[in-house]
Amino acid sequence: MQVSCSLPGPATRRALLAGSVGNFIEWYEFGVYGFFATVIAANFFPPEGAGALEGLVKTYASFGLAFFFRPIGAAVFGRVGDRIGRRPTLILVLLLMTGATTLIGLLPTYDTIGAAAPWLLTLVRILQGLSAGGEFGGAVALMTEFAPPGRRGLYGAWQSFTVALGLLAGAGTAAVLATALSEEALNDWGWRLPFLLALPIGLTALWLRLRLEETPSFRETGGRTGGSRLPAATRREVARAIVLGAGRVMGWAAAGYTFLVVMPSYLQATLDATFQQALIATVVANAGFAAAILPAGLLSDRIGRRPVMLTGAALVTVLAFPLLNLLQDPDSSALVQGVAVLVAGAVVGLMAGPGPAMLAEMFPTRVRYTGLGLAYALSNAVFSGCAGLIITEAIKRTGEADIPAYYVAATGALSLVSLATLRGDTHRGTLREEERHPPRDESEEETPCA
């Protein structure tokens, strides 16, 4: 059923905005946590006689732990979203994320309550991981199910675009605080301010989601069958699609977090950059990421998801070492290094633009929230959440400064293999409503609305 032609414009715009703003908060917070990793390490994970990298490793362990709760959140909230609807579930995960993020800004530090401080921080990170796991699947389902014909890539790309905006906002906030406050004030109380800002942003997002309508696809299909048990054959098909989807976004997940979030700590701990220099580099990388996302999503609507994402994965694999070596070279000018981080962000954007629509097209309406959310969450749990921990620990043990390039190139190459199985015509037809993938022919292609 082609329901999108009858959608009113305001409902579609509200879906884009309501889906985007919750995602913005999630990635703003995760970005802030990554950018302030060294400050958080000093406040919650003091090294106690070990090197500074020891506290950073513990901070990233807490960071990674939250990612491993994302698949649980994706499964729990995804199932709820596929049963009762996208709208109420997205409201619930937004409340959880906003509350947990605000709470980080209020937590007592190690100097105040001792060993309980890192445990409290880890508990709040777990709550964030659960809510973040439920956010992605719902936001992407919402945007792509409201998307007009021939625009799923562009609409889904808004999810990734708000990732970039959230990371940029986090980096910008951190840069402003680092400039306006003394190092002592920043380490003492200034780091709390970005987390407390999540409360007013979250209340705005809640107002937008309360005005949201349920998606047409869910009303037509999910609302009718969401309470019945899936056949065994369908469960097996969904499980295979989840594993394949996780492989397809592996390079996006690993390169994205390495270049866009882990970069500040790497530059400070390994290349002796200042906090301000590291944040500027991260802002530039995220600007390149943001600039590439929407054009990549739009291009994938015209030529297909496969060529755009394959190009991004190939470039990430090939350019990982040259780009990192430019940053390491003391003779490289600031302009050259700026171009390097800009390009690093842009090639990740080539995968992140079409990625959400690609995942949405892999699953039928009845399990779309759960399926695409799990595929994304599993890949991010392993390859994003562990990026900082793996890279920092490997550098600590080996002293090898090229570890980030090895990590990005390896995951990018594996992602290429999975993306090679992607069909070239999935961008043309309607989103799947049935549980078994029917054969496609040219007569099934969706025609644009007049």
CA gap 109, 136 in Å, rounded: 31
Can you list the positions of beta strands (E) in 35-110?
Answer: none
Per-residue tokens: 144: 């792509």
Instruction: Name residue 236's amino acid.
Output: R
Cα atoms in the 13 Å half-sphere on the side-chain side of 266: 28
Residue 264 has pLDDT above 70, yes or no: no
How confident is the model at residue 51, as a pLDDT?
A: 52
Backbone φ/ψ region at 430: left (φ over 0), alpha (ψ -120 to 50), beta = beta
Res 9 pLDDT > 90: no
What's the average model confidence in pLDDT over 317-323?
A: 92
- Identify the burial level of 446 via C-beta atoms within 10 angstroms of its C-beta, where 0-12 means exposed, 13-18 middle and 19 or more buried: middle
Give the rounded distance of the alpha carbon of 105 from its chain centre.
Answer: 22
Least confident stretch, 50-54, 77-81, 354-358, 400-404? 50-54
CA atoms of 397 and 393, how far apart (whole Å): 6
Give the span between the Cα atoms of 374 and 371, in whole angstroms: 5
Average pLDDT over residues 235-246: 91
Topology (CATH) of 4-224+231-432: Growth Hormone; Chain: A; (1.20.1250)
Q: Please give the Cα distance from 156 to 142 (Å, whole number).
A: 9
Choose from 28-37, 242-251, 322-331, 383-392 the range with maximum mean pLDDT: 242-251
Give the model's confidence band at 248: pLDDT under 50 very low, under 70 low, under 90 confident, else very high. very high
pLDDT at 4: 39
Average pLDDT for residues 393-421, to the nearest whole number? 90
Query: What pLDDT shows up at residue 437?
Result: 45
Say which residues have a Cβ less than 8 Å from residue 338's Cβ, sequence separation at least 6.
281, 284
How far apart are alpha carbons 420 and 317 in whole angstroms?
Answer: 15
Lowest mean pLDDT among 95-99, 216-220, 341-345: 216-220
- CA 182 to CA 186: how far, in whole Å? 6
Spatial CB neighbours of 316, under 8 Å, sequence gap ≥ 6: 251, 255, 347, 348, 351, 408, 409, 412
Place of tokens 């905005």: 17
Taking 60 as the threshold, does the pLDDT of residue 42 lie above it?
A: yes
Domain boundaries of the chain, sorted by first residue? 4-224+231-432
- Dist CA 14 CA 215 (whole Å): 11
Among candidate residues 313, 64, 31, 319, the one with its CA nearest the CA of residue 163? 31
Two tokens, residue 385: 């959440």
pLDDT for residue 250: 93
Is the pLDDT at 8 greater than 50? The verdict is no
Confidence of residue 57 (pLDDT cuts 50, 70, 90): low
- What average pLDDT does this structure show over 409-428? 89
pLDDT tens-digit readout, 332-360: 787 888 888 899 999 999 999 999 999 99
pLDDT at position 413 is 95
Identify the pLDDT of residue 276.
Answer: 75
Q: For 109-140, give the DSSP string.
A: -HHHHTTHHHHHHHHHHHHHHHHHHHHHHHHH
pLDDT at position 102 is 92
For 411, how many CA atoms within 13 A lie in the half-sphere containing its CB?
28
Distance of CA 339 to the CA centre of its chain: 23
Say how far apart CA 394 and CA 203 lie, in whole Å: 40
Average pLDDT over residues 81-105: 92
Question: Predicted confidence band at 291 (pLDDT cuts at 50, 70, 90)?
Answer: very high
Summarised one tens digit per residue, pLDDT across range 292-303 is 999 999 999 999
At which residue do the structure tokens 């390859």 appear? Answer: 383
pLDDT of residue 33: 79
Is 40:275 a contact under the CB 8 Å cutoff? no
Q: What is the pLDDT of residue 236?
A: 86
Question: Between residues 184 and 278, which one has the greater pLDDT?
Answer: 184
What is the structure's pLDDT at 218? Answer: 87
CB 293 within 8 Å of CB 312: no
Whether the per-residue pLDDT at 364 is higher than 50: the answer is yes
Task: Identify the band that residue 47 occupies on the pLDDT scale cut at 50, 70 and 90.
Answer: low
The mean pLDDT of 238-263, rounded to a whole number, is 89
Higher pLDDT: 246 or 22? It is 246
The Cα–Cα gap between 416 and 414 comes to 5
The mean pLDDT of 27-45, rounded to a whole number, is: 79
pLDDT recorded at residue 48: 58
Distance CA 245, CA 376 (A): 7
Mean pLDDT score, 325-337: 83
Taking the CB of residue 397, how many other CB atoms lie within 10 A of it? 10
User: What is the rounded average pLDDT for all residues in the chain?
Assistant: 83
DSSP 251-289: HHHHHHHIIIIIHHHHHHHHH---HHHHHHHHHHHHHHH
Query: Residue 91 — very low, low, confident or very high, per pLDDT cuts 50/70/90?
Result: very high
Helices within 151-262 (DSSP H only): 152-180, 183-188, 193-196, 198-210, 216-217, 223-225, 232-248, 250-257
**In this structure, are residues 290 and 448 in contact, taking their beta carbons and an 8 Å threshold?**
no
The pLDDT value recorded for residue 316 is: 94
Residue 254 · residue 146 · CB < 8 Å: no
The answer, yes or no, to whether residue 35 has pLDDT greater than 90, is no
Of 281-285, 309-313, 314-318, 348-352, the least confident: 281-285
